[in-house]
Chains A and B, each alone.
Chain A
Amino acid sequence: MINLYADVAVIGAGPAGLAAAISAHENGAKNVIVLDRNSWLGGILPQCIHDGFGVEETGTSMTGPEYAEMYINAAKKQGITFMNETMVLQFDKNRKIIAINKKGLHEIKAKSIVLAMGCREKTRWNIMIPGDRPSGIYTAGVAQAFINLYNIMVGKKVIILGSGDVGLIMARRLKFEGAKVLGVVEILPYASGLPRNVVQCLDDYGTPLYLNHTITYIQGRERLESVTIAQVDEKMNVIPGTEREIECDTLLLSLGLIPENELSRNVGIEIDDVTGGPIIDQYFETSLPGVFACGNCLQVYDTVDVLAMDAKKAGKYAVKNSIKQNKDINVKAGKGIRYVIPQKISEPGKIRFTSRVEKPCESPILRLVSGDKEILKKKLRWANPANMVEFDAVISAETIKSDTALEVLLDGC
């Protein structure tokens, strides 16, 4: 066993982990260790060779690898320790991490831990698509890795199920590489990826988007031969008679992302059923003192920019170690709201909330209330589940003392 010590140990060297590590170092942590299971830094970024990264944060549009490089260079300058090809097997309540790499098993005692494990993609079985089990079915991110990192083409005639951003990006990418992209199938009445991606990745290339449609059957005993698509009604039930078979050799699944929290669950950190990420307070601290969470393992962000800005805060707070001292109040998702982060507030002050709405809606009114008391009222131009809603609110000491849960609501939908 190799023994190490860290002021802040960051699990995951993707954009969140890099940003949190840099910020922790800038805020006084001398010994920052970042652990990652890949042989590279930047997580998913190196395979995201399209541009659009960093616009909100820096004003410059970069590709994924360029954006990652910016952070990697900054981190290296600061002397942050990176451990690649290192898998964290577990950590305990005293923040003792057990990790493994080619040098052996490591025991890392950390004053604080920042969780930045990212997320994984939903598979065919998350939505239980019946049929055969042929080759040629890939999650969009895996296909992206093969094409962009390994120079391997996944197929020639492609159907994409799910209009998440990775799926949309891949529709364009596959088209660039000469594949036939027969269409993107989405069960919802609207695209689940960002509107700009629908335009830039589908519309610009004449790729059809089949809204209110799903895949009901997969056929092919060896390699994929066809899928059956069908229209669904407003309750998402298949409308009989609308089924049609489409010949294809590849199915890409872009069904959404699941925050990776096996490590968090194993140590008993409370998880939000809706976000799939840890329940945190305004300091990004989880229910386990000294353990902070950021990035896509906390919630699935729209853009890396917002994710990185939040992760920097998490890194900063992690330096102060456990801030939690007061009792906290809950923040609930009310009418029209799917979730709100942070889920708990322990101290008064100006707080940045991130949340998602349940369905698309024109000019709704967002409200933050504490019992009968209205703390914030804000008119939005529009709201869309694909776009995260961010807002700031000042929470007073009185509100916290009142011991009443805060609630975020959406009126006029």
Chain B
Amino acid sequence: MKNFHVAIIGGGVIGSAIAWELSKYKLDVVVFEKGSDVASGTSKANSGVVHSGINSAPASLKARFCVAGNKMLQPLSNQLGFPLEWVGKYVVAKNEEEVKELEQLKTVGENNQVPNLKIKDGKDIKEPNVSCYKALWVPTAGIMLPYKFTIALAENAAENNVNFLIETEVKDLKKVDNHFLIKTNKGECQSQILVNSAGLNCRNIVSMLEEPDFRLYPCRGEYLVLDKNYSNLINSMIYPVPPKELGVLGVHITPTIEGNILLGPSAEFIDDHEDKRTTKEMMQTLFNEAKEIIPRLPEKAVISAYSGIRCKLASPDEGGWADYRIEESRQTAGLINLLGIESPGLTAAPAIAKEVSKMISKSIKLNPKTNFKTRKTMNKRFSQMNPKEQSDLIKKDERWGRIVCRCEHVAEAEVIEALSNPIGAQTLSAVKYRCRAGMGRCQGGFCTQHTVRIMEEQFNIDVNKIKLKSSNSKLFSGRTREIKND
């Protein structure tokens, strides 16, 4: 039975950040991910915001890791090649009453050492389409593509010999002597340390080893995605004053790196944490609330909708706000739990990973690798290159000159590169999140057949095994007609 130093449960942004941090050391590390790719839960379905730290209570873990993570992201972006932009954010107040809330946010932010916060008059903000009375300007807030960030961390960790086991679900855990015995749907293994970064499944994981002392309150957030044609509606993120209840930030308008604008998220406590539906009511509400901030928001601009689920430790009755729990279990030595990592978890991820690595170093000596590999895939898309760079690539390999996604101008070579990822994720979604084929306004109308052709011809994937996003999300029911080879 394979024995690992560290087993990480969950390949979301937290698990992937920890895996990347640990991949710098001479350790055997495994990550179990029940989805067909990393970032297949909340880590891909959020606002993609780099938070500054104005929304978290001073001295909380949320504030501490958010502010620390915020400072780590630019160097990480340079190193791993995922895109990041410091577009800043405005929290807008509609009236004098709400200005008090801005002042409070500013005080909290300053307590958390967030620099250069400023309350501006509505007429002084650089957003011609936004109507407001006053706004708090937060220059150290930014945007990134949350799935790209997670994928970059995970792939570079995998390139440095972390084992990512996808479609592998942890079924049972036992602590035997000084190690964990881990049963999965694909076999068993052992580890010395067990990191529980299972997100919405973190309670299930704990309960395999001990009686959990907490409950989870999944809270769904729905989003709308706007066509790139409307990217010039805003320059920065536009947030309302946070609603007093629920412990969420309210429906905001977020630009993305790729030019699509996001509207959302809503906040709805649900029972089933896998219920990622979108609802008619909420789609309308999101649109209406966004339209209050941007009166000229066009009706026909939506090209997609999705939802993500927040992992909350506080019930709606308690106001939905609770701090993170990042701790070694008192009952089960070696079990490191990461509980209730909701927003600003994306920003906090690299700082949380450092903390976890420090916790691990108490029981395992961490010796740095001398042969740590930098990331192979850099994330400049073909369509963003200059003509000289494009021509050079086509000269080297003609597959760069074959565009297979008409909306996002993705080259066949990029699809092939996406399908060759070191995680082994080969779903249509894995392609989409890596190179954007299928993410544009036609939503896969043109590229799906090309991607499927490439999967069949160049990767020998059986047509019956081609999946959209998860192990049972098959795309096809076989051949239309079987061809007999006489």
Contact = CB atoms under 8 A, between A and B. Distances in A.
A360 interface: no
Nearest to A145: B449
A121 B442 contact: yes
B458 interface: no
Contacts of A101: 401-402
Interface residues of A, number: 47
Given A101-B402, A130-B277, A123 B463 contact: no
B276 interface: yes
Interface stretch (B119-127, B247-255, B278-286): B278-286
Interface string A354-387: 0000000000000000000000000000000000
Given A102-B401, A132-B276, 15 more contacts: A87-B406, A102-B394, A103-B394, A128-B283, A131-B277, A133-B276, A135-B467, A150-B449, A151-B481, A151-B483, A154-B476, A154-B477, A155-B477, A177-B480, A221-B276
Contacts of A146: 449, 452, 476
Contacts of A121: 442, 445
Nearest to B283: A128
A89 interface: yes
Contacts of A130: 277-280, 283, 305
B75 interface: no
B399 interface: yes
6 contacts: A37-B403, A136-B475, A141-B445, A145-B449, A177-B480, A249-B477
B472 interface: yes
Given A128-B280, A132-B276, A105 B475 contact: no
B453 interface: yes
Nearest to A125: B304
Contact of A105 (B274, B387, B445, B473): B387
Closest 4 CB pairs of A and B: A102-B398, A135-B468, A87-B403, A222-B472
A393 interface: no
A223 B449 contact: no
A139 interface: yes
Interface string A110-137: 0000000000110111101011111110
B409 A87 contact: yes
Nearest to B400: A102
Contacts of B321: none
Given A87-B403, A123-B442, A139-B445, A128 B305 contact: yes
Nearest to A133: B306
B469 A135 contact: yes
A153 B475 CA distance: 9
Contacts, number: 128
A125 B280 CA distance: 12
Contacts of A103: 394, 398, 401
A223 B401 contact: no
A152 B277 CA distance: 29
B174 interface: no
Contacts of A139: 445
Contacts of B300: 126
A258 to B, nearest CB: 9
A121 B442 CA distance: 7
A204 B407 CA distance: 38
A1 to B, nearest CB: 6
Interface string B420-444: 0000000000000000000000111
Given A102-B394, A104-B395, A105-B394, A128 B302 contact: yes
Contacts of B467: 135
Interface in B183-227: none
Contacts of A388: none
A152 B452 contact: yes
A395 interface: no
B46 to A, nearest CB: 16
Interface of B: 229, 274, 276-280, 283, 300, 302-306, 387, 390-391, 394-395, 398-399, 401-403, 406-407, 409, 442-446, 448-449, 452-453, 463, 467-481, 483
Contact of B401 (A104, A154, A156, A216): A104
Contacts of A150: 449, 452-453
A272 interface: no
A128 B471 CA distance: 26
A147 interface: yes
Among B283, B387, B445, B448, residue most surrounded by chain A Cβ atoms (within 10 Å): B445
Contacts of B395: 104
Given A128-B305, A141-B445, A146-B449, A152 B479 contact: yes
B442 A120 contact: yes
Among B442, B463, B477, residue most surrounded by chain A Cβ atoms (within 10 Å): B477
A142 interface: yes
Contacts of B469: 135, 222
A247 interface: no
Interface string A141-172: 11001110111111110000000000000000
B401 A134 contact: no
Contact of B468 (A134, A151, A156): A134
Contact of A85 (B387, B402, B409, B463): B402
Given A125-B303, A128-B283, A89 B473 contact: no
A407 B64 CA distance: 67
Contacts of A136: 475
Contact of B478 (A87, A153, A262): A153
A205 B17 CA distance: 56
B448 to A, nearest CB: 6
Contacts of B479: 151-153
A100 interface: yes
A121 to B, nearest CB: 6
B35 to A, nearest CB: 11
Given A87-B409, A102-B399, A223 B481 contact: no
Contacts of B303: 123, 125
A100 B477 contact: no
A147 B473 contact: no
A100 B411 CA distance: 10
A151 B476 CA distance: 11
Contact of A142 (B305, B387, B402, B449): B449
Contacts of A154: 475-477
B391 A135 contact: no
Given A85-B402, A128-B302, A139-B445, A147 B278 contact: no
Given A123-B445, A128-B302, A89 B409 contact: yes
A151 B403 CA distance: 23
Contact of A152 (B279, B387, B446, B480): B480
A151 B480 contact: yes
A136 B468 CA distance: 9
Given A121-B442, A125-B304, A152-B463, A100 B473 contact: no
B452 A223 contact: no
A170 to B, nearest CB: 13
